[in-house]
Homo-oligomer: A and B are copies of this chain.
């Protein structure tokens, strides 16, 4: 609390780390690249889990749990998959004091171990679809890490489904993408672009990777969720076969999809300001904090009692906290709860008490309103709803204002340095042009939008014929 937060304008990256550590969301661990998720950060992850889990279950998915360890040989069965993940693996070579016969890899993702089980469980079209999700920790050996955004161990969910037809698998992949998109907007108040990854950016072993891409305040894009159509690549490698209605044998069609604790980093970067976190009410672990303000002891008794009663009244309907501490001043409390991102503060001082009201202050913009004590519960609900809506609107405006047309490659390269953001640009579809952009500008094709980008034009890089425009940006 004592240390100041680096302003965003001075150093965005340090600002981020300051906010995450000083708000006590997370801390560095003694093991390089791993983080400790402290109660505030974990409560946010629990809120994310609870909401997404309900959406998965509503669409017929069940949770299960597969082993942390994967035999090294399994990873090698799908050629692209091993190429993508082997360099990032942590390897267990000893167990129970002995050297293992076959080293075990700690799951970087669980396709291989899960599909080895599906091969055992699936026999007939009657066993399909299999719609399983897992909440788990995974490990990818990262060189450059950053709290929540990129850590060696992270928490995530990974869905793994198996279907009888290609069409069903594609439908599932898009259903999940839409769940991710709506969750980001409706709960995180972060509008995103949804689309298809290019071949060079797709998941190792997938036919097609879809993603949602968000925009952070520094103008960099952040991939916030992915949904992969795996085709029959893994079912061939792991012999996941089923007998069709007509009695023939076919390989199942598979999908996998995931979001991770990276979403917590996105919440910080999308909404935070120089005073700290700024959480959307629907996910905030504490939605309302009540801060009494008194000068005399006589005031203190009455006002702190009024604060306590207000918390009591709001408790059933909202996640509320009355901060009745004696040893710190109201101003100190304001700062602390702003740092922790609580969306709404209710102040009650001598004048408020006399007027039978509370002064409501929004974390988002410090806008104040008087709330009559008699309407406290109803008004609190309304104000929280307004905050959630305003945060999304602000995010939408930011995304709109920072999505630009890339008219020429020279202009685009230059603009990237000053403003960042997303750029709509025509692309001929060649890997060469894609590679050139990446090398020369450090921007990548974030996604090929699913709709509305089918128009003829000239490739931003080579000038060649293009049938579509794509979103370009530098990214995390």
Chain A residues within CB distance 8 Å of chain B: 27, 29-31, 34-39, 41-43, 45-46, 62-71, 74, 86-97, 103-104, 106, 113, 116-117, 120-121, 126, 132, 136-137, 139, 141-143, 152-153, 155, 327
Contact = CB atoms under 8 A, between A and B. Distances in A.
B34 A69 contact: yes
B42 A63 contact: yes
A106 B105 CA distance: 12
Contacts of A139: 68
A315 to B, nearest CB: 13
A100 to B, nearest CB: 9
B96 A88 contact: yes
Contact of A42 (B64, B113, B153): B64
B39 A141 contact: no
Contact of A92 (B27, B29, B88, B92): B92
B104 A31 contact: yes
B90 A30 contact: no
Contacts of A142: 96
Contacts of A71: 30-31
Contacts of A27: 117, 120-121
B39 A117 contact: no
B65 A155 contact: yes
Given A31-B104, A116-B30, A43 B62 contact: yes
Nearest to A325: B126
B64 A36 contact: yes
A342 to B, nearest CB: 16
A136 B43 CA distance: 15
B39 A62 contact: yes
Given A31-B67, A43-B63, A94 B96 contact: no
B87 A91 contact: no
Contacts of A132: 39
Contact of A69 (B94, B113, B116, B153): B153
Contacts of A94: 90-91, 93, 103
Contact of A29 (B34, B67, B121, B136): B67
Contacts of A91: 92-95
A181 to B, nearest CB: 26
- Which 4 residue pairs of A and B lie closest in terms of their CB atoms, listed nearest first? A96-B141, A39-B62, A34-B67, A37-B65
Residue from the set A67, A94, A106 with the largest chain B CB neighbour count within 10 Å: A67
Nearest to A121: B27
A87 B93 contact: no
Contacts of A30: 71, 74, 113, 116
Given A31-B69, A70-B31, A155-B65, A96 B38 contact: no
B65 A117 contact: no
Nearest to A88: B96
Contacts of A137: 68, 136-137
A64 B39 contact: yes
Contacts of A121: 27
A403 to B, nearest CB: 35
Given A36-B66, A69-B153, A96-B141, 20 more contacts: A29-B66, A29-B117, A30-B116, A31-B67, A31-B104, A36-B64, A37-B65, A39-B62, A39-B63, A67-B153, A68-B137, A86-B97, A88-B96, A89-B95, A90-B92, A91-B92, A92-B92, A92-B93, A93-B94, A137-B137
A152 B67 CA distance: 10
